[in-house]
Chains A and B, each alone.
Chain A
Amino acid sequence: MTNTRVSILGLCAGLLVSAFVVSSRGQNSAPSGRFDYNELRNVPEKARLRNNPVEGDPNSVPVGKKLFRQRCAECHGATGEGGKKAPSLRVEEVQQAAPGALFWILTNGVVRRGMPVWSKLPEPQRWNLVSYIKTLKPTSDGTTRAGAGPP
């Protein structure tokens, strides 16, 4: 029995260390090459066709900006320019995507590539984020600046 306990404790310790190592490696990897925004193309048609219900609401963009600073800037950069963990949101692929597609990505995340699910944010707040993201201007050189993570 003692051996079993020692094995379990060893396994626990090993997994704990590997959790930190695996995750910290992922976060330190520098952006490499152009990131593809395929996830946006995988959005179901029904979701893509949804209109932004708060579009035109004067509060929507300021609220979205506040939420972006609180929830998204950490990975996507303070102004959506992209970072080590997530790509730019100023690129053509994102700016020309349907609001419903962005909403769907926010709701479902891109879990396997590091973007968490944001369905815990109430629906109006997710739409406010979409409103704000849509106001971000493309990068000045006109190219797509992509990071290592998902949109």
Chain B
Amino acid sequence: MNKCRMVGILLLWTWAAQPSHAQESPYLVTYDHYLEEPGNLEVEYFSTLGTQRAGNGFHAYWVELEYGAKAWWTTEFYTDAQSTFGDGTLLTGFRWENRFRPLKREHFINPVAYVEYEQIREADKITKEVEGHDVESDHAESNALARKTLNHELEFKLLLSKTWKGWNVAVNPLATKNLLPSEPWEFGYAMGASRPLALQASPESCNFCRENFIAGVELYGGLGDTESFGLHDTSHYLAAAVAWNLPSAWTIRFSPGFGLNDNSHRLLLRWGLSREFTGFGEQVGRLWKRLP
């Protein structure tokens, strides 16, 4: 009953809360150095449709709740699932990520530290990052088999990003460790560049103004692990990406990604929908105070 009430309160709040105008980047894999505004909550849904050689195509999807704890700290909770065509649907796990900005001002390059705990099944297919020797054939396994293995992982990224004359360039090296001692550290990368279609804004609020659209490109892939570092038996992707930031605080993202070698899925078609809400922290604080 309490859970139902809590969910009800949250839904009511989501409906009634003040939306906040977003300026979201188009990236779906790469991170820039911008954190969530303090006290704001961003609710996001993302979807990946993937082709699969020697297996069935899939639709993997996830929901993110991103909260600006401080101007220098963003915390985010994900839960993800997948449907493999001709096979089945299952929840594949959850992730909790934190991003910390160590420097208080903008610099030539702006670093942000990223730490994530993942509890995900082998059947996870959202491909939110590519690491180690992740290859297309990993996803050919049936759901019945893949769901049996549950991985606990810690993931670390260094988010390096710079915005100059409207262009954002971001590079994210990553390292992941399965918490089983026998498993090696795995490595990967993601990088992206993006720019709004117009740097000047119009005086009126409008949906189709060019400044509302941000276009970009992403490149990401694996770099092997501590036992065999390098590009062999790794997969890599190049993806176009566009974000449409609406004045109503909704953001729509679309990104077709193409595999760059035989180990990669030929196509990863992604899209996402998100909305930012102001004052979430304040609402939670009030609720907290009211509790006995």
Contact = CB atoms under 8 A, between A and B. Distances in A.
Chains A and B come from one and the same complex: yes
Interface stretch (A22-30, A87-95, A139-147): A22-30
B117 A8 contact: yes
Contacts of B77: 16
A139 B13 CA distance: 34
Contacts of B154: 8
Interface residues of B, number: 56
B38 A66 contact: no
Given A1-B180, A22-B70, A120-B34, 10 more contacts: A1-B179, A8-B154, A12-B96, A15-B75, A23-B67, A24-B284, A115-B71, A120-B168, A122-B196, A125-B199
Interface residues on A, range: 35 or more
B68 interface: yes
Contacts of B96: 12, 16
Q: Nearest 3 A-B pairs (CB), nearest first?
A: A24-B285, A62-B203, A70-B21
Contact of A20 (B35, B69, B72, B200): B69
A21 interface: yes
A108 B106 contact: yes
Contacts of B37: 74, 116
Interface string B80-113: 0000000000000000101001001110000000
Most B-side CB within 10 Å, residue of A59, A108, A111, A124:
A111
Interface in A106-129: 107-117, 119-125, 128
Nearest to B196: A122
B163 interface: yes
13 contacts: A1-B181, A5-B152, A12-B96, A12-B117, A20-B67, A24-B288, A27-B281, A109-B105, A114-B70, A116-B68, A122-B201, A122-B211, A123-B199
B164 to A, nearest CB: 9
Interface in B194-221: 196, 199-205, 211
B285 A19 contact: no
A111 B179 CA distance: 34
A69 to B, nearest CB: 8
A74 B20 contact: yes
B173 interface: no
Contacts, number: 137
B179 A128 contact: no
A40 interface: no
Given A5-B179, A121-B23, A122-B199, A24 B282 contact: yes
A4 interface: yes
A59 B73 contact: no
B166 interface: yes
**Interface SS, A side:** helix
A76 interface: no
A111 B69 contact: no
Contacts of A109: 71, 105
A123 to B, nearest CB: 7
Nearest to A112: B104
Contacts of A5: 152, 179
A136 interface: no
A94 B101 CA distance: 27
B284 A20 contact: yes
Contacts of A112: 71-72, 104
B285 A25 contact: yes
A46 B69 CA distance: 33
A116 B71 contact: yes
Contact of A23 (B18, B32, B281): B281
Contact of B18 (A21, A74, A119, A124): A74
Contacts of B281: 20, 23-24, 26-27
A108 B105 contact: yes
A47 to B, nearest CB: 11
Given A5-B179, A71-B21, A15 B98 contact: yes
A119 B152 contact: no
